[in-house]
Amino acid sequence: MMAKDGLLNSSLNFDRVVEFPQLKDSVYVDHAGTTLYSKSQIEAHHKELLSNLYGNPHSRSQSSRLTTDAIDQIRYRVLQLFNTTSDEYTVIFTSGCTGALKLVAESFDFYTENNCHGNKNEISKIEKCDKEKVDEEVDDPGNNEFKIKSGCFAYLLDNHTSVQGMREIVNAGDILCVEETRDDNFKIHYVKKGKSKDGNSLFVYPAQSNYCGRKYPMKWINKIHQGQLPFQMLFPGRWFIVLDAASYVSTSHLDLSLNKPDFVSLSFYKIFGFPTGIGALLVKNKSADVLKKTYFGGGTVGVSSPTECTHINRSSLSDRFEDGTVPFLDIIALRHGLDSLKNLGGGMKSISRHTFIVAQYFHHYLQSLHHGNSQQVADIYCHGDFSDPSKQGPIVNFNLKRPDGSYIGFAEVDKMAQLYNIHLRTGCFCNIGACQKYLQLTAEQIKDNFEAGHVCGDDRDLINGKPTGSVRISFSYMSTIEDAQHCLTFICDCFMENKNKPNFAQDVQSKQYKCDVNKTLDSVITEKQSDVSDFYLSSSVQSVISNVKQDNEQCDLTLCSNKASDQKTNSHWTTDLQLVMQACSPTNYIVTNICLYPVKSCGAFQVRDWEICETGLKFDREWMIVSESGVTISQKRVPKLCLIKTQIDLVRKCLVLRYQDMCSVTVPLDSSDQGQGQQSILPCVGKVCGDRITGVDCGDTVGQWISEVLNKPGCRLIQQDRTRSRKCKLDKTDDDTENVSKLSLANESQYLLICRQSVEDLQHRIQQSEENPNFELENLLNRFRANIVIGGGLAFEEDGWATVNIGNNKFLSQGGCTRCQMVCLDQDTSERSKEPLKTLAAWRGKKIPFGIHLRHDDSAVGKRIYVGDPLLVE
């Protein structure tokens, strides 16, 4: 990878726009999660599939033999990648690294057999059906026929969750979690304590931490084999090693001719992106005897009898452990992934050098960032000083801090990153051990966090001010210095409070930095009450409300479709709003707007009054649009959705959709009323906030219309099955699982309420910055897609409300609404900006709350809510 324009040797020797078109304007820095597949890689795979006839490898046809030969070639190339041969290692294809680790856990024999009569191998020869008898004899304290000793299962604290899971099924006598305290010294945590110490033992550690990129010493392999690590002294039997290489081999060269672990686990998608669901266990042939297979599947036995407990495994190690038909087309696809490493990446050593440069650049600049009061912007979790690529991979893990030293939650960072089109990873990355180590969490604190509601993968990022996880940025061979710069710019723009912010575009051209980096590399490169009476309102307020309500009663609920009528309607709305706003004051709260969103993520339908049903406003978010593959489409992915205008026509009993100059399309309010063959019940057609949705397909006509609007073939409009409403998670408690509010397709609650005064306050704050646009109030308000808008009172008083009465209806607050990048979409143009989320995050802090969730009291169902209704706080 030669330098281009002198940019730290970070430029690529291929056109990234051509090879990775899926990136578009995105900055992808979650390569430790999965790296990206290239265009040429996918095209080559497609060409191969269309040019060759591949059959099931268990058959004997010509096409089957072609498959077998192709798989054998891939095994050879995998071994070649790691500088070894089939004489020394065997490749067993698995579902991934986790599958490989599970295979070892299920089959590793921790026992040594010692028969008192000298028949040492007797137990190993006993057939499966007779083994239970032996187990009974072994468990009998008075039986001296057999003496079976079980070894130890040990794993490093900094290990993937899949390694922890191994302890649940291994048959080891002792189980240890060992924590490195300093070089080759360890603190032992006994997970299980046994009596016998002399059996086979197994140690699992990562070649590279998926949490922080720390590369663990390869010298441990030989030391383990020779029994030289301190924790081994208690277990003098034969020791074996599983090297979890999934993170390491994605950007580093693993040389199995120099370092020879007994077992190596890996996933190919982490190396070249495609295919997923395929990994491997590399087994050192000399260590294969400790893998005792119990279950056998198709293709793994030479002979078996259904009427007798007899079977003989195949002699080939890979054939013996690859149960059933292997995913042969995915295995064949590995060829093109391996090719991309060489053709695009320049080989693994070049990839290692390139990725380290980019990651080091990001690390060093992040480390140098300070707030105006000299407080560091980031806590970086790193084993060393990020100077040696043989000890550090291209992963940077950190948490951001405010000027007062308090932590910024990773969920807030993630939301803001989406504004900058940055794809990163947050949480604990399926490595709770490293999380515990670097965040200095005790086992008791982890349990307390769980009791407080935090589980793996959620957004409970701070508990009692302490982080429960962190932010991870990682790089691969298609990453550039510009990616690192974009991430740094994002951090400075959103979280750094300092007038003197660095200009990364200029700094990257620093010749001194380039020389320092190259010198370092050249020397070390290896690797979210009752009825209200008007009595409480002033006479002037009553007068205005009365006038608006009378006007509502005279107004038809149907909106006209022609432009002249739309303009007349908009003018009428403006007049109504002006009248209602006259009634608002610091002591009077009035409903100024009522909006429903019939189709999820599409434009608002504004009304003067509306009926309340079990799930909220009737017809609110009752439909959703799904892609050809059945995935729910939202504005986050397709901003143009907000330009599809919706209308509920109660006269014609239909939903009307409009888009710019296209003819409108209508759908019955009850899709089951369509003609025979025009609709069908579709189970699990999409997901909303983790809930599977069952719905009714609204037919081909509207599906084709939406597909044309979005320029996405195969789109469908789905109406929620009214017999299967969702349950709100916000008000579900352990003591009350029955009285849970019902939901339509809304994300979290039946209603979202915002206050105009709060929006005005936000508008003022945004406009204080010279670089921000002059947001009009109504434009800003519409971005929050509220159901109920309130005028009057003081800004953010709604945050403290518990119960409110709107007109004759009672509502209960369910807390603040956590905001995401959706509020940055202009609902009139579909254009995206960084505001208002950027200002909200800096000002409102944790979770970025704005507006409140509401649910109605059961007595409200069937009643109506009106523009002009007063709101009273209990």
Residues 6 or more apart whose Cβ sits within 8 Å of residue 651: 556, 557, 558
In angstroms, the CA 674 to CA 693 distance is 21
Distances (CA, A) of 468 to 61, 416, 427, 431, 472: 56, 19, 7, 12, 13
Q: Note the helical H segments in 407-507.
A: 410-419, 432-438, 443-451, 481-495, 504-507
Q: What number of other Cβ atoms are within 10 A of residue 759's Cβ?
A: 24
Q: What number of other Cβ atoms are within 10 A of residue 645's Cβ?
A: 18
Is the CB of residue 382 less than 8 Å from the CB of residue 360? no
DSSP string, 620-637: TT-EEEE-TTSPBP-TTT
CA dihedral angle for residue 77, residue 81, residue 82, residue 84, rounded to 10 degrees: 40
Question: Nearest CA to 280 among 239, 338, 228?
Answer: 338
Per DSSP, the three-state class of 9 is: coil
Per DSSP, the three-state class of 374 is: coil
Is the CB of residue 424 less than 8 Å from the CB of residue 27? no
Decide: residue 735, CB within 10 A, 0-12 exposed, 13-18 middle, 19+ buried: exposed
The number of C-alpha atoms within 13 Å of 243 and in the hemisphere containing its C-beta is 27
Is the CB of residue 371 less than 8 Å from the CB of residue 499? no
Peptide bond into 21 cis (omega under 30): no
The conformational region for residue 393 under phi > 0 = left, psi -120 to 50 = alpha, else beta, is beta
Is the CB of residue 650 less than 8 Å from the CB of residue 557? yes
Q: Sign of torsion, CA 664 668 672 677? A: negative
Q: What are the backbone dihedrals phi and psi of residue 18, each rounded to the nearest 5 degrees, phi first?
A: -80, -45
Question: Nearest CA to 276 among 69, 425, 94?
Answer: 94
In angstroms, the CA 150 to CA 141 distance is 16
Which helix or strand (DSSP H or E) is residue 824 part of? Answer: none
Question: Nearest CA to 527 among 224, 183, 258?
Answer: 258
SS (HEC) of 734-793:
CCCCCCCCEECCCCCCCEEEEEHHHHHHHHHHHHCCCCCCCCCHHHHHHCCCCCEEEECC
Is the CB of residue 220 less than 8 Å from the CB of residue 242? no
Please identify which of the residues 152, 430, 728, 824 carries the catalytic annotation. Answer: 430
Question: Nearest CA to 682 among 743, 626, 745, 728?
Answer: 626
In angstroms, the CA 617 to CA 862 distance is 10
Question: Nearest CA to 407 among 445, 358, 382, 440?
Answer: 440
Annotation marks residue 430 as catalytic? yes
SS (HEC) of 655-702:
EEEECCCCCCEEEECCHHHCCCCCCCEEEEEEEECCEEEEEEECCHHH
Length of the chain: 874
In angstroms, the first-to-last Cα distance of the chain is 67
Per DSSP, the three-state class of 152 is: strand
Residues 6 or more apart whose Cβ sits within 8 Å of residue 724: 694
Q: Which residues are catalytically annotated?
A: 430
